[in-house]
Homo-oligomer: A and B are copies of this chain.
Amino acid sequence: MRETGNAHPRPYHHGDLSRALVDAGRRILEQEGAAALSLRAVAREAGVSPAAPYHHFKDKTELLEAVAHEGWEALGEAIAEARRTAVTPGDALSDIGIAYLRFARENPALYRLMYDTTRDRTAMPQTAHEDESGYANVQQALVEAGANPDQQELALATIALWCAAHGLAEMANFKEFAELKTAMGGEEPFLRAILRHYGVFHGHTTH
C-alpha cells in the first residue's frame, strides 16, 4: 500500500513507472492538449502496454489526479515566491494575483485539469490545507496588508480573493477583451485594474 516510493530506487522492471506516467501525462497535456490525454497515449509515451498503468493507478481518474496534484504544487510555489519577492507587504497581494494569473495563462490545460479534478471531488486540493500552500500564503499576505484578523472574516476574504482570481483566470482571454486590453496598454495593466476592483489590492509597483 506504499505510495510511489522515494526518489531513485530504480525498482522492478521499468524504473518508477508511476513517475514516468505522470511526467508523460503532463507533457502530453501541455503539448497536445487535453483531448489527446488518454490513458493509452500516456502508456505509449512511457513505452509500456495500455494495461500497465493499472498497477499504479486504479483509474484513469487517479492518474489525472496525480498530474493535477503536481500542478497544485507548482502553483503553490509560484504564489510563495511572489510573496517572498514582493517589495512591500502592500504589493504582495497584487503580486500574488499576477503570479496566479500568469501560471494559469502559461499552463492553461494543466490549470483546467486541476480545477476539473478538484471540482469532481468537491474538495479543495490537499495542498490547500498545508502550511506552505497557496491558500495559507494568501491568508498571511492579507493579514500583513492590514485585513481584518478575525478568523471567520479572514477566511471569507481569502475565499473571496481566490474565487475572483480563479474566475478571472478562466475568462481573461476571451476575444471580447482584446480591445479593452490594448486600450489599457497590455494585458497586465488590464489584469491589475480588475484585481483592483476587488478592493483588497493596492499594488502599484509593477515590475
Contacts and interface: CB of A to CB of B under 8 A. Distances in A.
A180 B194 contact: no
A52 to B, nearest CB: 24
Main SS at interface, chain A: helix
Interface string A115-136: 1001100111000110000000
Given A163-B164, A166-B167, A194-B159, A176 B123 contact: yes
Contacts of A174: 118, 122-124
Interface string A161-177: 11111111011011111
A54 interface: no
Interface stretch (A6-14, A21-29, A65-73, A150-158): A150-158
12 contacts: A118-B174, A122-B174, A152-B180, A156-B194, A156-B197, A159-B194, A160-B168, A160-B194, A163-B164, A166-B167, A167-B168, A198-B198
